[in-house]
Amino acid sequence: MIKIIITFLSYIIILFNYNLIAEEIDGKLRVGLLAPFSGEYKSLGESLLLSTQLALDEIDDENIIIIPRDSGSNDKNKLNLAIKEIINNGAKVIIGPTDSSLFSELEKYRDTIFISLSNKDPKISNNVISIGISLESQLKTIEQFLIKQKKNETLVLYPKNNYEKFIDQKIKLLKLKNFKIFKYSSDPRILTGEIEELTNYNQRKKNLEKRKKILKKNDDEKSKRELKVLDRLYTLGSVNFDSIIIVDFGNSLKSVLASLIFSDVDDQAVTFTTVNQWFDESIFRQNSVKNLYFPSVNMKQFKKYNKNYYKTFSLKPDEITILSYDALGLVYYVWKKNGSINTINDFFIKEKIKGKIGTFQFKEGRVSQNLKMYKTNRDKFKEY
């Protein structure tokens, strides 16, 4: 019932703004919102709209007018129709789309600025600024973390899939002194065997059995004490890396973590890091790696945003919606600072901008986020 009411209110907001923009009021900031209000990702679209409304309420400036339009789900015709309607209603800046595969369509509207929520590429193009949490920013944060930890032998793991070439390009930007790349199968049935071979598991297991066999022949106290210690182990001998970066997420990430622990890679001796984490508590139910590090948005602000969203709408927000919240804040900041927004150059601000996701800035034609490192700690997330 609550969802039906919220959906109804969402369209009321659309109609309300439509009537507002029909009036000619000078000095107003008109911002378009491209969101999938129909199709496969309809629930995401509604969540994006509510998040934008939440930001609008917090900014509390009657001079802002939001113009939401349905971009559909992977529908170029709907996208173009929505963009044209928004432009015709006086918006110079549009928040969206979320899908970077549609960026080629945006080139048609060179006089319009798009603030995309995509995280694929932080590079600022002719008329598109992507403020999603890019892999580039995440890898840079991990890199700095591992350097401070004085790690010298890093293993970078990622799956063989459609994103492989994209990840290849980003990994090349790493400035770690010594790192190796290992690409694993997306099939979990094959994955375990690959990880066993990678970690030299069988040989380390043989090393243990061989050493125990020797100790059992001895009757001295030192050998007995060592044997007791070895009885608690599964393998003997260390792996040839001291840190891991896993570029994966969801169930695939959990499969990799499980395979590494099954292959007896000690997360006390080897530092485990990963990307694309939004404080997903299901990671705790994967009883494998106890110490997992990852870069992410500001946890306090993220939890505060989620709490406020739920309090206001009695719904849990989609993770990406915090980006639309920050996107409106960014547009408003630039508009207030410059008095107007005419070109994409107005967004090239030297100072760092603080948002809900954390601090970000525009530098050398790219958007970079200053992310914090977090770790799993006794079924909780802890800032490192």
pLDDT tens readout for residues 62-87: 999 999 999 988 889 999 999 999 99
Q: Where do the domains of the chain lie?
A: 2-132+299-368, 135-199+239-296
Whole-number Å distance between alpha carbons of 46 and 248: 27
93, β-bridge pairs = 31, 113
Q: For position 287, what pLDDT does the model report?
A: 55
| Residue reference for tokens 């209110």 | 9
pLDDT averaged over the chain?
88
Angle between helices 135-148 and 164-171 (to 10 degrees): 40
- DSSP state for residue 266 in the 8-state scheme: -
Q: For position 26, what pLDDT does the model report?
A: 60
Q: Which CATH number describes the domain made up of 2-132+299-368? A: 3.40.50.2300
Provide the H-helix boundaries in the chain.
2-21, 42-59, 76-88, 103-106, 135-148, 164-171, 188-198, 201-216, 221-230, 250-262, 299-313, 321-338
Question: Mean pLDDT over residues 340-365, rounded?
Answer: 85
Q: For position 33, what pLDDT does the model report?
A: 97
Whole-number Å distance between alpha carbons of 294 and 374: 5
Whole-number Å distance between alpha carbons of 296 and 133: 8
Question: Mean pLDDT over residues 14-23, rounded?
Answer: 45
pLDDT tens readout for residues 117-165: 988 877 888 899 999 899 999 999 999 999 999 999 999 999 999 889 9
Q: Helix (H, G, I), strand (E, B), or coil: what is residue 162?
A: coil
Whole-number Å distance between alpha carbons of 335 and 347: 9
Tell me the residue type at 203: Q
Residue 284 CA to chain centroid, in angstroms? 18
Omega of the bond leading into 122 within 30 degrees of 0 (cis): no
CATH 3.20.20.70 fits 135-199+239-296, yes or no: no
Judged by average pLDDT, the poorest of 97-106, 133-142, 192-201, 226-235 is 97-106
Q: Indicate the pLDDT class of residue 8, thresholds 50, 70 and 90.
A: very low
Whole-number Å distance between alpha carbons of 277 and 317: 16
- 194, 185 contact by CB (below 8 A): yes
- 59, 51 contact by CB (below 8 A): no
Question: Mean pLDDT over residues 274-298, rounded?
Answer: 84
User: Can 2-132+299-368 and 135-199+239-296 be said to share one CATH topology?
Assistant: yes
Whole-number Å distance between alpha carbons of 80 and 102: 10
Residue 297 CA to chain centroid, in angstroms? 8
Q: For position 245, what pLDDT does the model report?
A: 97
| Residue reference for tokens 């802002």 | 64
Question: Mean pLDDT over residues 300-307, rounded?
Answer: 93
